[in-house]
Amino acid sequence: MKRVMIVGGPGSGKSTLARLLGERTGLPVHHMDHIHWKPGWQERSRDDKDRMTHEVHMQDEWIFEGGHSNTYEERLLRADTFIWLDFPVWLRLFRVLKRSLVYYGRIRPDLPEGCPERLNWQTAEFVWFILRTRVKSRSRLATIYRAPPDHLKTIRLKSLSQVSGFLSGIGVDDRVER
């Protein structure tokens, strides 16, 4: 395991899993939100996101969590492990709202500087985005999971106990020696 692609809907736990997996393996962790957002919640252009995502993909080792499905094809070709966090939408919505409250006014570890967590109309817009895109996004990830490239190991985690079991199975043999 040298290049790990972690995907799932918002609130599925991608950032947390990436951080914990990075701690266990020593692989560098990259969060899509650092690429997607500039300080002040300013969205980068699609070209900038494509370029920055490509720069991560081309590294020898990484754990890369998050969306930007525009670059999935390239990421899948470079990844050796695909982890899909497939949690119910009600749980993901609960987590999104909870983290908005817990981190309100502060910057979460997976967000870039200048992007404090907020609870406002944009939060409501994000909840609507989650609801509006849940079927199409999940369908796309299911397609990748069912028919991955030959070189890709796929893992689908559908519960907190499965995530815990997966992490407990990561041992010294999985650690990257530098």
Q: What is the pLDDT of residues 17-60, one digit of tens each?
A: 999 999 999 999 999 999 999 999 999 999 999 999 999 999 99
- pLDDT value at residue 119: 82
Given a cut of 60, whether residue 176 has pLDDT beyond it is no
What pLDDT, on the 0 to 100 scale, is given for residue 126?
87
State the pLDDT at residue 175: 58
What is the total count of domains within the chain? 1
* CB within 8 Å of 76: residues ≥ 6 apart: 5, 82, 144, 148, 149, 152
Q: What is the pLDDT of residues 102-154, one digit of tens each?
A: 999 999 988 899 999 888 888 888 889 889 888 889 999 999 999 999 999 99
Higher pLDDT pick, 176 / 124: 124
* CATH code: domain of residue 104: 3.40.50.300
Domain that includes residue 28, residue range: 3-174
Q: What is the pTM of this model?
A: 0.91
Cβ neighbours for 46, distance < 8 A, ≥ 6 positions apart: 70
